[in-house]
Chain A
Amino acid sequence: MSKILMKGNEAVGEAAIRAGCLHFFGYPITPQSEVPEYLARRLPEVGGVFVQAESEVAASNMIYGAAGVGVRVLTTSSSPGISLMAEALSYIAACELPVVLVNMMRAGPGLGGILPAQGDYLQATKGTAHGDFHLIVLAPSSVQEAVNLVMRAFELAENYRNPVMVIGDGMIGQMMEPVEFPEPAVGKPLDPGDWALTGCKDRPRRIVNSLYLDPEACNRHNFKLTAKWQRITEAEQRSESVYLDEPCDILLTSFGMTYRICKTAADELRAEGIKVGLFRPITLAPFPYQACRAAADRAGRILDVEMNMGQMLEDVKLAVQGTKSIDFLGTAGGVVPSPEDVAKKIREVLGSAPAKNASPKPAPQKKRKDKERA
Chain B
Amino acid sequence: MASTEVLMAGFGGQGMLLSGKLLAHAAMEKGLEVSWLPSYGPEMRGGTANVTVCISDKPVASPYIVYPRALLVMNQPSLEKFAPRVKPGGLIVVNSSLVPVKSDRQDCQVVYVAANQVAQQAGTGRAANLVMLGVYVGWSEVVSLESTVRAIEEEFAEKAKFIPANVAAFKAGYEEGRKARGAKS
Contact = CB atoms under 8 A, between A and B. Distances in A.
The yes or no verdict on A and B being binding partners is yes
A251 interface: no
Interface string A150-184: 00000000000000000000110011111000000
Contacts of A277: none
Given A261-B62, A339-B62, A359-B87, A178 B81 contact: no
Nearest to A144: B59
Contacts of A340: 66-67
Interface stretch (B28-36, B123-131, B136-144, B171-179): B28-36
Contacts of B91: none
A339 B43 CA distance: 24
A114 B41 contact: yes
Contact of B45 (A3, A176, A363, A371): A371
Given A178-B34, A371-B42, A373-B42, A264 B85 contact: no
B64 interface: yes
A142 B33 CA distance: 12
B47 interface: yes
A30 interface: yes
Contact of B61 (A5, A30, A31, A264): A264
B71 to A, nearest CB: 12
Determine which residue in B34, B36, B45, B47 has the highest number of CB atoms from chain A within 10 A of its CB, and name it: B36
A41 to B, nearest CB: 14
A340 B25 CA distance: 28
Interface in A162-208: 170-171, 174-178
A246 interface: no
Nearest to B105: A360
Contact of B87 (A142, A171, A360, A370): A360
A267 interface: yes
Contact of B24 (A5, A267, A336, A371): A5
B40 A260 contact: no
Interface in B1-31: 21, 24-25, 28
Nearest to A31: B40
The size class of the interface chain B forms with chain A is: 20 to 34
A354 to B, nearest CB: 15
B88 interface: yes
Contacts of A360: 67, 84-85, 87-88
A176 B21 contact: yes
B134 interface: no
A373 B36 CA distance: 21
Contact of A176 (B35, B66, B82): B35
Contacts of A366: 81
Contacts of A265: 62
The size class of the interface chain A forms with chain B is: 35 or more
Contacts of B36: 5, 175-177
B94 to A, nearest CB: 16
B164 interface: no
B163 interface: no
Interface in A1-56: 3, 5, 30-31
Contacts of B25: 5
Contacts of B81: 363, 366
Given A175-B35, A175-B36, A362-B66, A373 B61 contact: no
Contact of B28 (A3, A114, A170): A3
Contact of B85 (A170, A174, A363): A363
A372 interface: yes
B62 A260 contact: yes
A263 interface: yes
A265 B67 CA distance: 13
Contacts of A267: 61
Contacts of A336: 64
A242 to B, nearest CB: 10
Given A114-B41, A178-B33, A363 B64 contact: no
Interface of B: 21, 24-25, 28, 33-38, 40-43, 45, 47, 59-67, 81-82, 84-85, 87-88
Q: Which 9 residue pairs are nearest across A and B when measured between Cβ atoms? A: A263-B61, A176-B36, A264-B62, A363-B84, A264-B61, A371-B42, A370-B42, A261-B62, A338-B66
16 contacts: A115-B41, A171-B64, A174-B37, A175-B37, A177-B35, A177-B63, A178-B34, A260-B64, A261-B61, A261-B62, A338-B66, A360-B88, A362-B85, A363-B82, A370-B47, A373-B41
Given A174-B38, A359-B66, 14 more contacts: A5-B25, A5-B34, A5-B36, A115-B41, A176-B37, A177-B35, A257-B63, A260-B60, A264-B62, A340-B66, A362-B66, A362-B85, A370-B47, A372-B42
